[in-house]
Amino acid sequence: MGRARSPLARSLRIWLLSLGLALPLAAWADFVEHEDQPFLTAGNAEENTLTTPEPVPEGGASFLTAFPTGVKLIRGNLDANDRDAYAIQMSSGQLLLAALFDDGGGAFLDTALGVFNGTTPPAAVLDDDGARGFLSRLHYPVTSTGLKRIAVTGFGDTSFNGTHQEARGGLRPYSLLLGAAANPPALRESDLQPGPQGSNNTLASADLLPENGALLGASLPVGDIDYYAIDLEAADRLFVAVYDMKTGVFEPAQGSFDDPAVALFDPNGALVAGGVDDDSHEGFDPGLTYLVQGGGAGRYRIAVSAFNILDGVQRERAFDYLLLVGRQRGCPNVVPLISNLTSSSGRANQIASLKGGDHYYADRIGVQRHVLVSIPEFMECGQWIKTANDDKNVTAFPHLTFTLAQDATVYIGYDTRATGEPAWLTSGFTPLSGVLLDVRDSDETQEFRLLRRDFKAGTVQLGGNFAAGAGSNYVVAALPVDTADAQHAFEIPSPVPTGTAFVTINGVTVVVAVGAGQSPTAVAAALAAAVNANATLQSQRVFAIGSGPSFVTTGVIQNFSYAPEIPLASPLALATLALFLLMGARLYLRSVTR
């Protein structure tokens, strides 16, 4: 159970269901390698080698289980004598795809990319310059289930031991776009789906992609153009890679036989500057990256076609392809929710925008330690409090006090090593099952598990951290309450007639009488009060608020219904009474004639 989804996320789920796919949404935002984030480590003391690769995801779940949309974007850095290795759980019969990008378009950073089945070279597959400029790109058909290691290094380092000449002037950032697909891919363009879904052959009918991208299977008949839509904000960066497929075989053709092209159109339907690519990737395969400038937010369209079809000349046969799309969020519109922050200890805390790669304590800013590696997708672009880790043994209540500018969801990230919780957390927050805030700490077993509570605008008080086993202080994040998610919220219809409102949450039904003239806001508040007073829901750690005319809960809403009161003198009431009398008369006659 997580934060309520955005309208875009809900539209994605509808699109997935229209394709016959009951898939969960991707759980994580873009992944940040913990090495060199946010500062360079002298001597590469903690680099990710083939023997100590960084798991993606951190918990080590299978790639397609953790990322059901099939794609994951990793932000990393390469420096002198550095190599970065990532561990990925794959299954036999799947495809592993990888494409490297950098801000210089491959002009200055000369990478090499390899996939390994074990901890030592040689690589099962190796690529040097398969992408734009000097950048690398590869695919790997997985033949045995288990852990695969994918490593990034510099040109010439065939042993993947860090012996290369790249990035000697300092850190060189790169973006590694990873994709995985089963046969057939879980997500496919609408042209390939049975039923009335229609086609994606125009800008207006483009398939809407998941908000952080996806891997899709697709096909290009002769004369076809496929369009895909993705919503971007200012400072977002988009990554696109196309892999043409061998005929009748679930394996990329390495751009050897077919010649696709890719183009990017802005929200007005115009080609963006530099937004057409033909052969910058492997063989004839295309790829591109695009940074959204200020004022350019909106729905972008990606077009995939055969070579030159955009100018009306078709030169290619029909062929299949895989489309790999990733989005790195710029988060230009973080809502300033938190103010007036104080602590019982007087130690400094810091309000900041939540982002991977940042330090998560105000008093722990040394290199390689206390750094966010990956954050859940639903927490992206939120605001948060970097607490003081020296407050980890505080027991006071209140300890942290702050003001929320509007109704908000507050998340607590609490030490996974703890064997208990402080009372204010146990009695006031709902645990999020299976969701972690991934961090880099001196104790590599530590992560933050997440708990949630929704608050009205105004003052919020949180207690001290201390509990058995909690060796690090908690952190706090806040996002505006999402009132548009049917799983955790609904809006009371207006006008509200006199009657009774019923809501079922986590199998428990609460009932509220609605008086004459009550507003939707009053009904939402009454429902929330009934939930918070229910002993069974309290034992389940489920809470609720009324946010304007909307009811919001940390539990899962199974049903909402409303029974209006029927005035006694109304035609409906008289008809109901007549029917009741008639049925009663029939029952009486049956009883006396037996």
Q: State the pLDDT confidence band at 327, using cuts at 50, 70 and 90.
A: very high
Please tell me whether the overall predicted TM-score, pTM, comes out greater than 0.85 for this model: no
Strand partners, 479: 409
pLDDT at 367: 57
254-281 residue pLDDT tens: 777 788 889 999 999 999 988 888 766 6
pLDDT of residue 34: 54
> How high is the pLDDT of residue 585?
47
φ, ψ of residue 35 in degrees (nearest 5): -70, 135
Residue 75 in tokens: 């932000």
In the DSSP assignment, the letter for residue 457 is S
Instruction: Quote the tokens at residue 328.
Output: 């790195």
The pLDDT of residue 205 is 92
Q: Which residue has the higher pLDDT, 173 or 347?
A: 347
Q: Are 475 and 465 in contact (CB under 8 A)?
A: no
Contact 236, 322 (CB under 8 A): no
pLDDT at 6 over 50: no
Whether 578 has a pLDDT exceeding 60, the answer reads no
pLDDT at residue 170 is higher than 50: yes
pLDDT at 573: 45
- 434-441 average pLDDT score: 75
512 or 109, which is more confident: 512
* Mean predicted confidence (pLDDT) in 72-80: 85
Highest mean pLDDT of the ranges 99-108, 397-406, 493-502: 397-406
Which range has the worst mean pLDDT, 74-88, 136-150, 474-488? Answer: 74-88
- Whole-angstrom distance between the N-terminal and C-terminal Cα of the chain? 59
Note the pLDDT tens digit of each residue in 185-229.
999 998 776 544 568 889 999 999 998 899 999 998 888 899 999
Backbone angles phi, psi at 341, to 5 degrees: -80, 125
Q: Which residue has the higher pLDDT, 594 or 509?
A: 509
Give tens-digit pLDDT for 519-530.
Answer: 999 999 999 999
Q: How confident is the model over 165-185, as a mean pLDDT?
A: 88
Read off the tokens for 5: 């989804």
What's residue 33's pLDDT? 65
| Residues in CB range of 572: below 8 A, 6 or more apart | 566
Beta carbons within 10 angstroms of residue 442's beta carbon: 11
Phi then psi dihedrals of residue 56, to 5 deg = -125, 105
- Report whether pLDDT(11) > 60: no
CB 152 within 8 A of CB 78: yes
Q: How many CB atoms lie within 10 A of CB 43?
A: 8
CB atoms under 10 Å from CB of 543, counted, come to: 22
Q: Which of 225, 27, 181 is nearest to 93 (CA)?
A: 181
CB 178 within 8 A of CB 150: yes
Any idea which of 91-100, 535-544, 561-570 has the lowest mean pLDDT? 561-570
Cα–Cα dist 84/231, whole Å? 31
**Residue 497 confidence (pLDDT):** 84
pLDDT cut 90: percent of the chain above it: 52
User: For residue 311, what pLDDT is reported?
Assistant: 67
Distance CA 464, CA 412 (A): 12
pLDDT at residue 130 tops 80: no
Residues 488/557, Cβ–Cβ less than 8 Å: yes
